[in-house]
């Protein structure tokens, strides 16, 4: 079973239109909410949208291949068409999702193997992901659900759901941010996140943490 309450993270949160709906549906039955995207501009719009809808989440700029969170730090990790364009990178994408998840990963993505031939050809042309279920099983995740959704607005891009439970059960440690380059603990301080162990900082731009590997700044002499 999936946890009824706990922390939640959306991969590729965009303008938070999906996250806003999820938070409204969950209401108070959850803990902290997080989301990231590669675009600072989209996160800025997302923060404004959540504020207008009286919702709260910690949003940040990050990369799907190097999520700046500790192992087993988020109860449920989910996506809505965020893995879609990462064909060929299914293994590293799912590895990162399962690494940070404590309990489950919920993916709403096009499922190539369940699509009709016309949709499959379109997915191939656009470089969409394939073999998500097989990749998850390769990573020892338990598949709880795997199917196409009954309602799809675009028959050539049919959405499906893949729900994964993490196994074996992991020891749950404290939540913390980590350097996407080294895995060292990151601590916020004024306008930066600082990994003192390795002397690397990441800027905070107008309250939005910039936590992609290319945002790293060497600052070994910094005193915080």
pTM of the full predicted structure? 0.92
Q: Where are the domains of the chain?
A: 8-165, 177-218
Segment 64-109, tens digit of pLDDT: 999 999 999 999 999 999 999 999 999 999 999 999 999 999 999 9
Q: Regarding the domain with residue range 8-165, which homologous superfamily does it belong to in the CATH classification?
A: Vaccinia Virus protein VP39 (3.40.50.150)
**Can you tell me the distance from the alpha carbon of 43 to that of 38, in angstroms, rounded to the nearest whole number?**
9
**Can you tell me the distance from the alpha carbon of 49 to that of 144, in angstroms, rounded to the nearest whole number?**
32
- Cα–Cα distances in Å, from 138 out to 79, 135, 160, 161, 215? 20, 5, 20, 18, 32
Measure CA of the first residue to CA of the last residue in the chain; give whole Å.
Answer: 43
What does each of the 224 residues of the chain score in pLDDT, given as a tens digit?
Answer: 445 568 999 999 999 999 999 999 887 666 799 999 999 999 999 999 999 999 999 999 999 999 999 999 999 999 999 999 999 999 999 999 999 999 999 999 999 999 999 999 999 999 999 999 999 999 999 999 999 998 777 777 788 999 999 886 666 667 899 999 999 999 999 899 999 999 999 999 999 999 999 999 999 888 77
């Amino acid at each position: 079973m999936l946890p009824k309450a706990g922390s939640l993270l959306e991969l590729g949160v965009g303008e938070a239109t999906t996250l806003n709906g999820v938070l409204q549906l969950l209401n108070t039955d959850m803990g902290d909410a997080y989301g990231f995207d590669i675009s600072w501009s989209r996160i800025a719009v997302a923060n404004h949208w959540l504020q207008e809808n009286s919702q709260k989440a910690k949003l940040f700029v990050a990369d799907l291949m190097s999520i700046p969170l500790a192992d087993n730090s988020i109860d449920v990790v989910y996506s809505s068409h965020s893995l879609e364009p990462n064909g060929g990178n299914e293994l590293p994408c799912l590895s990162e999702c399962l690494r940070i998840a404590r309990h489950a990963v919920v993916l709403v993505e096009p499922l190539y193997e369940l699509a009709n031939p016309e949709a499959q050809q379109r997915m191939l042309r656009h470089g969409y992901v394939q073999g998500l279920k097989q990749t998850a099983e390769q990573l020892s995740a338990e598949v709880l659900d795997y199917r196409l959704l009954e309602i799809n607005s675009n028959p050539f891009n049919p959405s499906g759901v893949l729900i994964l439970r993490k196994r074996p059960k992991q020891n749950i440690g404290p939540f913390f941010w980590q350097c996407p380059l080294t895995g060292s603990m990151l601590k916020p301080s004024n306008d930066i996140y600082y990994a003192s162990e390795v002397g690397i900082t990441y800027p905070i731009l107008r309250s939005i943490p910039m936590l992609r590997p290319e945002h790293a700044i060497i600052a070994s002499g910094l005193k915080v």
